[in-house]
Amino acid sequence: MSKMISQTDNKSTVHRNLPTRVLFNLALSRKEGKLAKNGAISVTTGKRTGRSPLDRFIVQDEITLHEVDWGTVNQPISPEIFNTLWQRAEEYLKSHSHFISHLAVGADPAYQIPVTVITDLAWHQLFCYYAFIATFSPGDDAKTWTLLNASQLKTDPERDGVKSDAALIINFKERKILLCGLLYAGEMKKAMFAVMNFLLPPRDVLPMHCAANVGHDGDVALFFGLSGTGKTTLSADPERYLIGDDEHGWSSNGVFNFEGGCYAKCINLSPDREPLIWQAIREGAIMENVVLDETTLAPRYENDSLTQNSRAAYPLDYIEPRFKPNRGGQPKAIIFLTCDLYGVLPPVAKLSKEQAAYYFLSGYTALVGSTEVGQDNGIKQTFSTCFGAPFFPRSPDVYANLLIHHIEKINCPVYLVNTGWTGGAYGESGKRFDIPTTRKIINAILNRELDTASYVVMPKFKLAIPTAINGIDEKILNPINAWENAADYNKHANQLVESFIANFKRFKVSLEITAAGPELV
């Protein structure tokens, strides 16, 4: 382990590999945040309370030119612009105290990527201890990435060749990530996630925007889904061991976590519905954009006046029970979490291999407390390829083909679970499935009850839905039965089917996969 070092010159102090407790206290003493009543440090991130996709770029060079799926998500930028801005950031750090740590991404040594993290804020460095894996040892220079976050350094679009006063640039050739003017900590973890998503597929490893846990018998379950669909909540199960809540890889060795901590949504957090997460937000944790009571400094999780995307970061050790190896075997169940605003999808359906590819590519769900800047008002429908389109640099078919490849190898069942609305559409007569109901459905999947269940096929969507589940009202299993008016259901169902068909036209896949999707009847 490298020694803890603080070096001081006339202009700045450089802190290396500081312990988490020291970083926590430094963040408080530097007034980067407030000490909340629950013991966590509470910070705010200004006007950007989510990711800024319009300010994210990838350097276009001989490595990325023909490998990246260029467009509005993966925006190209020149090496010259990157190099000039990197030099400006290095000059900025010479006159500002900053923090350096040697960390890594990926719990499987065969696929682990070392990363040196440099930040100008103590709480950002602490966040990276949780978002990544603490090693404190410099990695192989030929493999190590450098992430430099100059959060207080604003960019100038005219001078710097970017779009606003902030920028995030990934340079695969030089193994560098540069962030300027960005306080929202999720940008750092998702930048390294994008790196893994580019580097792993050529090695036959599927990078996944999913949570994972493992049962007492070693049975691994994967929970795919966008933010707000329930990945973190449902994977933090008192009866199972958490591997991780957000980013994983799937190789021939099994499933492994990319991270060393969790980054949970806090909006409307309650000790009754999410006890493990509630208990994890304590001394040493970071609360991001959570409103505090002015008198007691207690968190007001129900208050979304700053954002619906309030967050908490904490180490995996804060979750009990957790799976300490941080990786497991091959999955026994795959769960696609979708939040259906139309209220027409069933609470659970078993998917064929072709349907799995179709719904994986579609990534249908709702933006609930969006993680992106400018999308924080209301709940909206979205299709996010691979359940995480903003983080995947390669063409979507690369990831879909890898998913099918791994499913075929182990014959793993795949389920679609709706955590959204039932009995009516959002904003009309519908209500959202409560967490206890969804937990019962997840338990039926994991205890193999649904392996032997009787199924019927839904019209239009062609989904196999169980006719009965222990402890679940049969009325809600077939969504049309939960509506008072069948004609109203069919109207909304047709609207959703049309959305699926329109969205899927952009994919060039086999006829079998296209035919597995919904169709108008």
Coil, helix or strand for 454? coil
- Write down the pLDDT at residue 195: 98
206-261+325-515 in CATH: which number?
A: 3.90.228.20
Predicted local distance difference test score (pLDDT) of residue 228? 79
Distances (CA, A) of 62 to 59, 79, 113, 174, 200: 10, 11, 22, 12, 18
Q: Where are the domains of the chain?
A: 5-34+46-203, 206-261+325-515, 263-313
pLDDT computed for residue 136 by the predictor: 73
pLDDT of residue 371: 57
The type of residue at 461 is: F
pLDDT at 352: 95
Q: Which of 310, 262, 320, 264 is nearest to 288 (CA)?
A: 310
Q: Which residues contact 218 (CB under 8 A, 6 or more apart)?
A: 328, 329
Residues 234-246: b if buried by 16+ CB within 10 A, e if exposed: bbbbeebbbbbbb
Rounded CA-CA distance 469/49 in Å is 40
CA-closest candidate to residue 368, choices 351, 356, 381, 359? 381
- 263-313, CATH topology level: Phosphoenolpyruvate Carboxykinase; domain 2 (2.170.8)
Which residues fall within 8 angstroms of residue 179, CB to CB, at 6 or more apart?
A: 147, 148, 149, 150, 151, 166, 167, 168, 187, 188, 191
Q: Which residues are catalytic?
A: 51, 190, 209, 227, 231-232, 246, 311
The first and second tokens of residue 214, run together, are 């493992």
Please count the other Cβ atoms lying within 10 Å of the Cβ belonging to residue 447.
13
Average pLDDT per consecutive 10 residues, the chain (521 residues; last block may be shorter): 53 89 98 98 97 97 98 97 98 96 96 97 98 83 93 97 98 98 98 98 97 96 90 91 96 97 94 93 98 98 95 94 95 96 97 95 81 62 91 94 94 96 94 95 97 95 97 95 95 96 93 94 76
Q: CB count, 10 Å around CB of 475? A: 11
38/286 Cα distance (integer angstroms): 11
Cβ atoms of 104 and 115 closer than 8 Å? yes
Which class for 499: exposed (0-12), middle (13-18), buried (19 or more C-beta within 10 A)? middle
Q: Which residues contact 369 (CB under 8 A, 6 or more apart)?
A: 227, 228, 265, 267, 304, 307, 308, 309, 310, 376
* Closest by CA position to 379, among listed 321, 348, 419, 331: 419
Neighbours of 470 (CB within 10 A): 10
Q: Which residues 6+ apart lie within 8 Å of 320 measured at CB?
A: 276
- 5-34+46-203 belongs to which CATH class? alpha beta
Torsion angle, alpha carbons of 187, 190, 192, 196, to 10: -160
> What pLDDT score was predicted for residue 140?
76
Which pLDDT does position 4 carry in this prediction? Answer: 59
Rg (CA), the chain: 23
Give the amino acid at 22: V
CB atoms within 10 A of CB 144: 15
CA nearest 118: which of 98, 132, 137?
Answer: 98
pLDDT value at residue 267: 93
Question: How many whole angstroms separate alpha carbon 179 and alpha carbon 184?
Answer: 11
| Contact yes or no for 104/132 (Cβ under 8 A) | yes
Q: Please give the pLDDT value at position 189.
A: 97
- Residue 8 pLDDT: 55
Do residues 246 and 259 touch, judged by C-beta distance below 8 A?
yes
Nearest to 445 by CA among 417, 426, 425, 423: 417
